[in-house]
Amino acid sequence: MVERTSKFLLIVAVSVCFMLILYQYVGPGLSLGSPSGRSYLEELDLFPTPDPHYVKKYYFPVRELERELAFDMKGEDVIVFLHIQKTGGTTFGRHLVQNVRLEVPCDCRPGQKKCTCYRPNRRETWLFSRFSTGWSCGLHADWTELTNCVPGVLDRRESAAAKTPR
């Protein structure tokens, strides 16, 4: 009898803990009313008015943000991917070489971090990133290092590709 009672108490205790955890995670999403009398969506607005002490450092006009650029993969255009740490850059860079649907997909071999991304009509790269060319301009190169380094690296790769017999 004692064993049966202890099992029952254990089941009740686990059920209560489960319900508390469920209420904690699901409850805030439900509109059960709030003690302050305001709606839940009004309480989510943490900054209802702009901060008067905040000074805009960069101004981006709408036309600049909405501009469209034509990228000619079969021509001479190259995408230079600037990898910035702690911004999801690794995930996005890997996505560029593995998941984007292309006429000639990047060749990613198992066990290697680099993939070869050639143009559809010749053996030249269209993407300059850590996953396609490696750390050609140094570890976590910034904008200045990339603008100084990329043209030279691409010229060296093109001249090396021209020298090798096909």
What residues act catalytically? 140
CB neighbours (10 Å) of residue 123? Answer: 13
- Region of 138 please: left (phi>0), alpha (psi -120 to 50) or beta: left
| Beta-ladder partners of 61 | none
| Beta-ladder partners of 80 | 128
Distance of alpha carbon 127 from alpha carbon 150, whole angstroms: 11
What's the token pair of residue 87? 């911004």
List of residues 6+ apart from 126 with CB closer than 8 A? 73, 77, 78, 79, 117, 118, 119
